[in-house]
């Protein structure tokens, strides 16, 4: 089993999950509590990675991050080295790829809140930011936890996007799923077996935690 690849995957998934929840909180807030004309467009854009083949997403990410792509150029200007085929590039692409897995549980838990609690907070003289911190977050924390864990698990298992924008550089972009693919290609079925089993167990434990904590927050199964 490739420990380096496993550690890299864990590092990527943790970084992405933390960054993504921080990004998704304001996004989910705006989607849940504001109504405007083009809202459905934003919702569709957020959900796009759910249906888009990872290779398509990876292809666009690669073009954008390449030395002639807008993101790649900006990165080169700011940090002095290219973005494609680096860990940072993987993080950036994974943020887009796992976005719906962070935003949707948050939106679901925000929309389940009793609006009158927010009204009560406002009438008691408390502004929007404080209301978010003092009422919304404490009551929606199962949604936050779900968002964190789902984006972690989803990033841990990603393959297509990583292959497109990351390539296969040991220690930098060679994640655990790439490792499994490599082993199968080189007919190392025992090695692939071990790694795959580990990934299966991690995923199952993670999802059990999510559903154990809150059945209603975000589940593909109908509520009882």
What is each CA distance from 29 to 47, 85, 87, 118, 221, in whole angstroms? 16, 33, 29, 13, 24
Query: C-beta of 132: minimal distance to another protein in Å?
Result: 13
Examine residue 138 and tell whether it contacts another protein (CB under 8 A): yes
- C-alpha to C-alpha distance for 182 and 195, rounded to whole angstroms: 12
Q: Which stretch binds another protein (CB under 8 A): 1-9, 65-73, 112-120, 167-175?
A: 112-120
Examine residue 213 and tell whether it contacts another protein (CB under 8 A): no
What is each CA distance from 183 to 7, 55, 177, in whole angstroms? 17, 21, 10
- Return the number of the residue (119 or 190) whose C-beta is nearest another protein: 119
Helix axes 70-79, 54-65, angle to 10 degrees: 50
Chain CA centroid to CA 26, Å: 15
What mask, x for binding another protein by CB under 8 A, covers residues 157 to 186? Answer: ------------------------------
Structure tokens at 147: 């968002």
- Return the number of the residue (141 or 181) whose C-beta is nearest another protein: 141
Query: C-beta of 38: minimal distance to another protein in Å?
Result: 21
Site for another protein in 113-132 (CB under 8 A): 114, 116-117, 119-127
Residues engaged in binding another protein (CB under 8 A): 114, 116-117, 119-127, 134-135, 138-139
């Amino acid at each position: 089993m490739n420990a380096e690849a496993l550690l890299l995957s864990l590092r990527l998934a943790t970084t992405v999950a933390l960054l993504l929840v921080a990004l998704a909180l304001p996004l989910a807030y705006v989607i849940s509590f504001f109504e405007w004309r083009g809202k459905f467009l934003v919702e569709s854009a957020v959900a796009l990675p759910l249906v888009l083949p990872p290779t398509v997403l990876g292809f666009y990410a690669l073009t954008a991050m390449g030395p002639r792509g807008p993101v790649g150029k900006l990165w080169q200007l700011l940090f002095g080295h290219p973005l494609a085929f680096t860990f940072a590039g993987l993080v950036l692409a994974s943020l887009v790829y796992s976005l719906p897995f962070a935003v949707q549980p948050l939106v679901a838990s925000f929309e389940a809140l009793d609006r009158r609690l927010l009204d009560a907070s406002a009438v008691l003289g408390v502004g929007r930011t404080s209301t978010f911190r003092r009422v919304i977050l404490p009551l929606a924390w199962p949604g936050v936890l779900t968002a964190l864990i789902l984006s972690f698990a989803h990033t841990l298992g990603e393959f297509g996007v990583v292959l497109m924008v990351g390539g296969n550089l040991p220690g930098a972009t060679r994640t655990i799923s790439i490792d499994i693919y490599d082993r199968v290609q080189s007919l190392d079925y025992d090695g692939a077996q071990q790694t795959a089993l580990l990934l299966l167990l991690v995923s199952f434990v993670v999802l059990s935690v999510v559903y154990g904590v809150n059945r209603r927050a975000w589940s593909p199964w109908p509520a009882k």
